[in-house]
Structure 1
Amino acid sequence: MSNIGLIIEERSRDIGDFLVGRLIPFRKKRMIGPFIFIDHMGPTQLGPTKYMDVDQHPHMGLSTLTFLLEGEVMHEDSMGTKQLIRPGSVNWMVAGKGVTHTERTPPSLRNGNIFTAHGYQIWVALPKDKEDMEPEFHHIAGEDLPTWRDGNAIFTLVAGEGYGRTSPVPVHSELFMIEVKTTDAYALNTIDNLKGEVGICIVEGSIEACGEVVKKGNILVSKVLDTCNAILRPNTHILLFGGEPFPEERHIYWNFVSHDKAKLEKAKNGWANKTFPMMQNEDSYVPLPSP
């Protein structure tokens, strides 16, 4: 997914043990572990004339993680990948030194019917020594992700390591992304189960933390490494994410991420001059945003 528009910083607030905002990066917190950008797609109704059509655009210095809750998306890229993603599965694209791709509603859903599209496009910055690596693409089916129950909650380890388990998604730094769904109230305590900075993205429902109720659409960031405590209300759906922060600051411009601003300038010039790796048999082109 292309971050075509400017990122508008939502108001963030301090409720005690957590910072609360509506997206990252947000005021007071630019990254959570290596996670640098989260785009909530939908839920939105598509069809019979409106579909998802994200034209060819570039990425550099990051990995994209696509995780759908509803609908389907066809991914194609300059590596020659063509992969349909369905809810519960993971598309993991490591952009490295540069890659381009498109994301579109597949032909099978362009049948005149109306359907719901809902999911998350997540950017994970690469470690400094991996920013110039060759691009990679991996698809992991939902049934291959570790899933378990604890009391009133069902956990799925989407990526990284947590709760003594490891996801098959081939990540390049210490991180975690975990989906949690509750049937009844559940006391979330991540101590000894996660490592690094901890964020909570509320997909549905609400969470009680520090005497306040935080509803869906918000992200909470724990002020304490490795742990957070909160009560997940019944029928709540969250994404836990985070990990070890990098020692260097990361800079972001459009779809490019790097510890070195000079690399961002090189990427901007490369895309403007169309010297980036381009897809075969694809004429679409999203231009560099105006300054």
Structure 2
Amino acid sequence: MSNDTRRVERECAEVDGCGAVLHVLRPREKDLGEFSVRRLLPTVGRKAVGPWVFFDHMGPADFPPGKGINVRPHPHINLATVTYLFEGEILHRDSLGSLQAIRPGDINLMVAGRGIVHSERERPEVTAVPHRLHGLQLWLALPEADEECEPAFLHYPSEGIPSVDVDGVPVRVMMGSAFGASSPVRTFAKTLYVEAHLQPGQRLVLPPADERALYVAQGALAVGDTRIDEHAMAILDATPGVVVEALEASRIALIGGEALGPRFIDWNFVSSRKERIEQAREKWRAGRFPTVPGDEEEFIPLPD
């Protein structure tokens, strides 16, 4: 999705944790017109978790016939976007000529590198009937050596993402390696992204990472004596053997990996160099980014 303003970070309430929990972040909802998102990263005081610099929970949004997601072409640089749906479908187009429907369980990895433009809409067959959209969109910072790489689009169907059973808890290893499984999704640095579903009373030992954050998309968890409610994100330390226990039926996402150093974020641009962002802003303003085949008529203007 495109950010609607230059300022990406949100004011989020921070609650001091205990034990392995450093902080608990709570989002503010952002109304995007047809639907809303909950932004967890970046926030004031917490710009990133490992290589992850942006975390939005979109929906669930219910659309009547004739309505739906309609994000016009917009640019990115020096990052990779990761889109994952719980429900619904998004039609991805980009300036490389990619045309791909994203469906629940799939992972879309779009590597912006030196620059890419994409749009996110829905097929007419989807918007013709009542439908729902619900999922996560995350941004990864790229290591400095890869920031200006060639842009790329990689689509990973659901059946190719490894699933494991961990003491009765179904887990998907979306990116990186955990629980004896490794994801095929391309990474540029040490990266972790795991999803799990827990029933009340079930427990899960979290895999290690240099930096970690646990998001509760549905339900409620306990980490020691700290309660993590629905739509909250717990920033964890590197303590090994951290155990979470489900207080309700819960769907969780664990993200983490190695820190890549400070990044500047301005609108849809992420870079280790502020001057690179200014170059990208001027390039978009001047209309010098490539267009999206099949979606050339519209674009999102550069915000002031």
Equivalent of 2:113, from 96, 99, 102? 96
Distance 1:179 1:141, change over 3 A: same
Q: Does 1:182 align with 2:198?
A: yes
The answer to whether the Cα contact below 8 Å between 1:197 and 1:225 also exists between their aligned partners in 2 is no
Deviation at 1:115, TM superposition (A): 1.4
Report if aligned partners of 2:208, 2:238 keep a CA contact under 8 Å in 1: no
> C-alpha root-mean-square deviation of aligned residues, in Å?
1.4
Moved more, 66-75 or 13-22: 13-22
1:170-194 deviations in whole A, cap 9, x for unaligned?
111110111100134222222xx33
User: 1:76-134: per-residue Cα shift (whole Å, max 9, x none)?
Assistant: 000000000100011110000000000011122122x2111100111000000000000
Deviation at 1:29, TM superposition (A): 1.5
In structure 2, relative to structure 1, the CA distance for the partners of 1:260 and 1:47 (3 Å cut) is same
Compute the TM-score of the two structures, normalised by the length of structure 1: 0.94
How many Å separate the matches in 1 of 2:243 and 2:136? Answer: 24
Secondary structure of 1:51 counterpart: coil
**Cα distance, 1:274 vs. partner?**
1.1
Q: Is the Cα–Cα contact under 8 Å of residues 11 and 26 in structure 1 kept in the other structure?
A: no
Cross-structure match for 1:121: 137
Q: Aligned partner of 1:196: which letter?
A: D
Q: Which runs of 4+ in 1 moved over 6 A?
A: none
Give the Cα–Cα distance (whole angstroms) in 1 for the partners of residues 236 and 119 of structure 2.
Answer: 35
In 1, the alpha carbon distance for the partners of 2:272 and 2:252 equals 30
- Return the alpha-carbon distance in structure 1 between the equivalents of residues 156 and 219 of structure 2: 27
Q: Secondary structure at the match of 1:216?
A: coil
Matching residue of 2:181: 165
CA distance in 2, matches of 1:48, 1:277: 32
CA shift at 1:209, angstroms? Answer: 2.3
Amino acid aligned to 1:4: D
**Aligned 8 A contact 1:61 1:131 in 2:** yes
CA contact 2:223–2:242 (8 Å) conserved in 1: no
Matches of 2:202 and 2:181 in 1, distance apart? 21
Q: Matches of residues 130-209 of structure 1 in structure 2 within 5 Å?
A: 130-190=146-206, 193-209=207-223
Matching of residues 10-49 of structure 1 within 5 Å: 10-16=12-18, 17-18=20-21, 19-22=23-26, 23-49=40-66
CA distance in 2, matches of 1:224, 1:150: 21
3-state DSSP of counterpart to 2:41: coil
TM-fit CA distance, 1:234 = 3.9
Partner of 1:267: 280
Q: Which runs of 5+ in 2 are unaligned?
A: 27-39
**Aligned counterparts of 1:227 and 1:96: Cα–Cα separation in 2:** 36
Q: When the two structures are superposed, what TM-score results if normalisation uses the length of structure 2?
A: 0.90
1:224 deviates by 2.5
Unmatched 5+ residue regions in structure 1? none
Tell me, in whole angstroms, the C-alpha distance in 1 between the residues paired with 2:47 and 2:103: 30
In structure 2, do the counterparts of structure 1 residues 194 and 223 end up closer, same or farther at CA, with 3 Å as the change threshold? closer
How far off its partner does 1:47 sit? 2.4
